Structure 1
Amino acid sequence: MTGVRFNLTENPWLPVVRLNGATDEVDLVTLLTQAHRIRRILGQTPPMTVALHRMVLALMHRAYGPVNAAAWADMWRADSLPTPKLPTDRFELFDNERPFFQCPAVAQVPAASAAKLVPYRAVGNNTTLFDHTVATDQVRLSPAEAARWLVTLQAYDPGGLKTPYAKEKSSQAAPGNGMGMVLIESSTLKETLLLNLMPYSPDDGLPRTTDTDDCPAWETDPPRPEPDARHPKGWTDLLTWPSRRVWLARGSGDDPHVDQVVITPGTRLLGEPHDNEWMAAYRRPKISEGRAKRGQAPKPRYGPWRSVRLDAHRGIWRFSQELLLAPTGAAERHWQRPAALDHVAQMVLNDIIPRDAVYTLRVFGQQLDDNRTVIEQVLEETVAAPVALLRADYPVAGPVIGHSIELANHVGSALTKMERDHRAQFRAEAASSLHLSYWPRLTDPFDVFLRTLAQALSASASPVSVTEAWARQIRTIADQAAVRWAEGSPRQGRNLEVAGECYGRFTEQLDHEISAYHGHLAGYIA
């Protein structure tokens, strides 16, 4: 071991927000034992926030299990989490032989600036994303900063060419880039962590596809320097996936810091994400109607599984079915919610979690360019998660939520068509911005819709008033957006006349869509 030590179980490095709103940094042991006094982990970027949660969840699984629902319930009822027994020697950031989440064998590779660890720093030909630093700027990271970015890099590093250890330069984008990562959030970090901590027992194959040799990265020997490819051994293996071979080069002097880093290609992830990744939602979009047998309706055909991802312009709430609802019957063929929600729903049925609880789904994403080598933007959104909707005993919830989202989509398409028809009259090619007056304004009303729908179902009341309120919100927000567009500058002469005609056709379509919405739901609710 080097003379300078930085142990993640003893030295503060995890950024947190206390219950009183104060920010702080804590070590791993303090994070867990004081989780009931902490509001949340809050990283410098959304990818960092969720990457740190994933690492902590892997640690909790190995320290606590819990082996079954009963053990989980005991932890939920307790005032605080127990002090974990950790292999502290595996959490030394600067150890020569077993440095945390690193590969000492690549230390011989020429090192680059520590800016390579931080995606918003410009390095080489990369463009800046969040600030205006350049490659010539000297970057000195404290051990705490380096540890945070190291964890983030393993989960979210873009793909592309890396400095090779030997010959292999190509790297696969780290697993977090391909999906919206979902975190169930409560009012304290203790509850948040437990809500995302499913029963874990490798001997029993829990969670699904977890083998007996599953373990997080720090429990194994450092990986060989050459890149490889394999299937995950289980859940904690995937939570700490070694997508890169990394070596943190400590700067000279008494002040411990990291000023250089080696990053080479790591382990490529094999297998289908929906069979292994439990913090994401998936769907199979309908691609066609199959051939119908005589006297029977045609059966739909579905495409391959796709992860639910964030979109900069349309809210993640549009995938509330996939995020919240338990698929039943035919729905099993085309969506899969995050696995932790299945566990939460069971705890509600077991009367461990209150039936009127409302949590928040916090969804994190990182969007890459078409080549999957450059970060274009990072995203974070929330969706209300009333536990009443997580249970499978309200079959009407699926159709109501599904048709309500379809109404928003159809009206959004009508707005787009209104503007497109107007541009076609004048052969204009200007990009549309009308969606910015529509989609962002639906996020809060949809949260209210989900909460009031859950209240109605729990009270065995008809959700008609809930769907009517949602339709009124759609009408108001869409019409206001259309009016602002129709009256927008410049509007005069023939331009104004055509805008008015397009607006008139839009209002007719709006009436039609809302009428059809109520008609679709008539068979489910009264």
Structure 2
Amino acid sequence: MSYNLVTEPWIPVSGDQGQTPELSLTQALLEAHDVPSLALPAPTMLPALLRQVLLPVVLHALGAPRTFEDWQRRFEQGRFTKDERELLADYLRRHQHRFDLLSATDRPFAQVANLRAASGETKSATLLLPSVASGNNVPLFSAFTEADVVELTPPQAALWLLHAHCWDTAAIKTGAVGDPKVKAGKTTGNPTGPLGQLGVIVPVGRTLYETIMLNSPVLFDGLEPDDRPQWAAATEDYPTTPGEADPGTAVWSERSARGVLDQLTWQSRRIRLVATETPQGPRVTRVVVAAGDRLRLTPDLEPHTAWTHNPKPKPGQPALRPRRHRSGRSAWHGLDTLLALSLPTDGEGPYTSRLLRQVGELDAEGFLAPAYPLRVETYGLEYGNQSAVVENAIVDTLPMPVAALAAEDSDVRLAVLEAVGQADRVGRALDRLLMDLRRAAGGEPLPRDKGSRPSELLLYALDAAVRQLLSQLRHAGGDFDRLEGELADWEEILWSQASLIASQLLAAAPPTAFGGRETKEGTFRSAMAERGFRNVLYATLPRAADARTSQAATKEPAV
């Protein structure tokens, strides 16, 4: 059996008529300018496919951009040139033997040929699918268990293979024959896949080509001489070094990444797909998933994560640590992190991703249009029980004004941060209103980790408005009047939504809240609680407050 990813179709893309045709790797790259987006079975596959295959092929074949001018030239041409297409096609032909998914005699793609478990057993292919019950991983809603026979087509198996290398759960893994670190038929202490340790941030463009370019870091010194993707490992040009394991064997090592290509194609597991021939063609029904390479620490060359910076780290700890997304929060709740353009100097603080900083630098230098319709997609998995199970997927998309990334004092950036800060302060005022009403009625405030908060309702109600504001700010540029107009409209929406929720809280308060009560903290009455909330609205939303003051002043006095 054979299924070569260079020539066989396996990458699903969105078509003109709503269909999802599959392209080979060669087609996907050479026709990237005609591909509006990928149509993958699971959202978290996008960063896996981008990092493990598409981006490293382009960077290794053509080299990374070495100047902003070089990046701009490539981006503005909108497609690979004739010479670049020839280089890509030649590169894929030369490495084609390393892209055979089902090869049993050579090195199958991203796998170990003849990998065997110490127990001699194989497991159901459901092990690759985090949404299917398998072992300790038992999702709440799953129509399948690991006892069911799941037949993956080669395209499906290829995508889930890449996904496992990036997102696999942690803890105990099958011990492989030939791995000297196996004990009692297993290996322990395995971390999650590398993306599972990050809050993944991916800039996305209008076409697959633009997305590849937006994710291509400008490397002024070029790629490291010994850097290579996994399919070029253990070759004459890129031999393994002492202490480094060949990813085509059952042996694994703990080490640092050689460079960007090594980081992107990190082989966090040793895997073998077990395929059988069926009347419909080859199908993957069984797998072996064993321990793979362990990354000593996430290097600051990692392009797809924001960071927490500690100016005074403990001995042996890095100053920068990857920052993960919080479950249950939309991406715009963390815009202060996405727009954190400089390293904090006092205490711990956020620092945005390398690629978003690069977008801002390109805009500031005039190499990317401020009105470019950039999207930022965020991905993460929430693990539970020692990271051995998947509990939730975190996926979101935001329209991002490029000008907001250009400089700390950018008017657009300040407007975005002002809007998000206003939503946060008004949300906290609603929470305080609820607590004061509970006290006024004779109750106690909700514990911090119990119950729902009205701020959550507010943030949910504002979701569409925030995304609309971000889209509009793309075109505001340095137009102060337009910026003020957009913020005035935003404040009106925020005021209305917050007032509606506050009215519902006041209407639900019992009659005893009107009379109130005295406590050690002070006097609490519903009227006082409402007045406090209204004061916050007037102080936080000055444009909306001015509009209401003007309206009140122009009203004719009652006769």
Q: Which residue of 2 aligns with 1:171?
A: 190
The 5-angstrom pairing of residues 77-96 of structure 1 reads: 77-81=76-80, 82-83=84-85, 84=88, 85-86=91-92, 87-95=95-103, 96=105
Farther off after superposition, 39-48 or 406-415: 406-415
Query: Of 107, 116, 120, which residue of structure 2 is paired with 1:98?
Result: 107
Counterpart of 1:450, as a letter, is: L
Relative to structure 1, the CA distance from residue 453 to residue 333 in structure 2 (aligned partners, 3 Å threshold; closer, same or farther) is farther
Relative to structure 1, the CA distance from residue 396 to residue 62 in structure 2 (aligned partners, 3 Å threshold; closer, same or farther) is same
* CA offsets 1:274-306 (integer angstroms, 9 cap, x no match): x1321122244899xxxxxxxxxxxxxxx9645
Query: Of 202, 225, 246, which residue of structure 1 is paired with 2:250?
Result: 225
Give the conservation status (yes or no) of the 8 Å contact 2:404–2:416: no
Q: With structure 1 as the length reference, what TM-score do the two structures score? A: 0.83
Q: Which residue of 1 aligns with 2:206?
A: 187
Relative to structure 1, the CA distance from residue 344 to residue 395 in structure 2 (aligned partners, 3 Å threshold; closer, same or farther) is closer
Farther off after superposition, 13-22 or 373-382: 13-22
Aligned-pair distance for 1:511?
Answer: 2.8
CA distance in 1, matches of 2:534, 2:199: 31
Indicate yes or no: 2:430 matched with 1:415. yes
CA distance in 1, matches of 2:387, 2:527: 40
CA distance in 2, matches of 1:401, 1:77: 27
Q: Which residue of 1 aligns with 2:158?
A: 147
Indicate yes or no: 2:227 matched with 1:214. yes
Q: With structure 2 as the length reference, what TM-score do the two structures score? A: 0.79
Q: Which residue of 1 aligns with 2:71?
A: 72
Counterpart of 1:217, as a letter, is: Q
Aligned-pair distance for 1:517?
Answer: 6.4
Give the conservation status (yes or no) of the 8 Å contact 1:365–1:380: yes
Relative to structure 1, the CA distance from residue 230 to residue 514 in structure 2 (aligned partners, 3 Å threshold; closer, same or farther) is farther
Indicate yes or no: 2:244 matched with 1:244. no
Q: Which residue of 2 aligns with 1:432?
A: 452
Q: Which residue of 2 aligns with 1:12?
A: 9
Farther off after superposition, 26-35 or 168-177: 168-177
Q: Which residue of 2 aligns with 1:476?
A: 496
Aligned-pair distance for 1:193?
Answer: 1.6
Farther off after superposition, 31-40 or 380-389: 380-389
The 5-angstrom pairing of residues 449-460 of structure 1 reads: 449-453=469-473, 455-459=475-479
CA distance in 1, matches of 2:490, 2:347: 27
Indicate yes or no: 2:322 matched with 1:311. no
Counterpart of 1:94, as a letter, is: L
Counterpart of 1:214, as a letter, is: D
Give the conservation status (yes or no) of the 8 Å contact 2:400–2:474: no
CA distance in 2, matches of 1:369, 1:332: 29
Give the conservation status (yes or no) of the 8 Å contact 2:200–2:304: yes
CA distance in 2, matches of 1:250, 1:60: 30
CA distance in 2, matches of 1:507, 1:8: 65
Q: Which residue of 2 aligns with 1:404?
A: 419
Query: Of 33, 40, 59, which residue of structure 1 is paired with 2:30?
Result: 33
CA distance in 2, matches of 1:502, 1:49: 50
Farther off after superposition, 330-339 or 380-389: 330-339
Q: Which residue of 2 aligns with 1:443?
A: 463
Give the conservation status (yes or no) of the 8 Å contact 2:412–2:483: no
Q: Which residue of 1 aligns with 2:372?
A: 357
Relative to structure 1, the CA distance from residue 496 to residue 53 in structure 2 (aligned partners, 3 Å threshold; closer, same or farther) is farther
Query: Of 281, 284, 288, which residue of structure 2 is paired with 1:258?
Result: 284
Give the conservation status (yes or no) of the 8 Å contact 1:45–1:378: no
Give the conservation status (yes or no) of the 8 Å contact 1:163–1:169: no
CA distance in 1, matches of 2:477, 2:207: 27
| RMSD (Å), alpha carbons | 3.3
Q: Which residue of 2 aligns with 1:59?
A: 57
Aligned-pair distance for 1:509?
Answer: 3.1
Aligned-pair distance for 1:260?
Answer: 0.7
Give the conservation status (yes or no) of the 8 Å contact 2:64–2:219: yes
CA distance in 1, matches of 2:400, 2:377: 10
SS in 2 for 1:249: strand
Relative to structure 1, the CA distance from residue 278 to residue 146 in structure 2 (aligned partners, 3 Å threshold; closer, same or farther) is same
Aligned pair count? 492
Relative to structure 1, the CA distance from residue 383 to residue 239 in structure 2 (aligned partners, 3 Å threshold; closer, same or farther) is same
Farther off after superposition, 130-139 or 392-401: 392-401
SS in 2 for 1:10: coil
* CA offsets 1:78-107 (integer angstroms, 9 cap, x no match): 353243122111111122331111123633
Q: Which residue of 2 aligns with 1:322?
A: 337
Query: Of 377, 385, 395, which residue of structure 1 is paired with 2:400?
Result: 385
* CA offsets 1:380-411 (integer angstroms, 9 cap, x no match): 11222122222127445555443432322222
CA distance in 1, matches of 2:408, 2:425: 29
Aligned-pair distance for 1:340?
Answer: 2.0
Give the conservation status (yes or no) of the 8 Å contact 2:401–2:471: yes
CA distance in 1, matches of 2:413, 2:75: 29
Q: Which residue of 1 aligns with 2:546?
A: none
Relative to structure 1, the CA distance from residue 212 to residue 47 in structure 2 (aligned partners, 3 Å threshold; closer, same or farther) is same
Aligned-pair distance for 1:28?
Answer: 0.8
SS in 1 for 2:374: strand
SS in 2 for 1:36: helix
CA distance in 2, matches of 1:407, 1:279: 28
* CA offsets 1:127-181 (integer angstroms, 9 cap, x no match): 1355321122111111111110000010011111111222223310111112221
Aligned-pair distance for 1:57?
Answer: 1.1
Give the conservation status (yes or no) of the 8 Å contact 2:228–2:261: yes
Give the conservation status (yes or no) of the 8 Å contact 1:169–1:264: no
Farther off after superposition, 428-437 or 405-414: 428-437
The 5-angstrom pairing of residues 367-382 of structure 1 reads: 367-369=382-384, 371-382=386-397
CA distance in 2, matches of 1:422, 1:285: 40
The runs of 5 or more residues in structure 1 that have no matched partner are 288-302, 520-526
Relative to structure 1, the CA distance from residue 183 to residue 215 in structure 2 (aligned partners, 3 Å threshold; closer, same or farther) is same
CA distance in 1, matches of 2:283, 2:515: 66
Indicate yes or no: 2:351 matched with 1:340. no
CA distance in 1, matches of 2:42, 2:141: 10
Counterpart of 2:213, as a letter, is: L
Relative to structure 1, the CA distance from residue 98 to residue 503 in structure 2 (aligned partners, 3 Å threshold; closer, same or farther) is farther
SS in 2 for 1:441: helix
Counterpart of 1:134, as a letter, is: T
Q: Which residue of 1 aligns with 2:173?
A: 162
Counterpart of 2:451, as a letter, is: A
SS in 2 for 1:443: helix
Relative to structure 1, the CA distance from residue 134 to residue 422 in structure 2 (aligned partners, 3 Å threshold; closer, same or farther) is farther
Q: Which residue of 1 aligns with 2:552?
A: none
Give the conservation status (yes or no) of the 8 Å contact 1:129–1:377: no
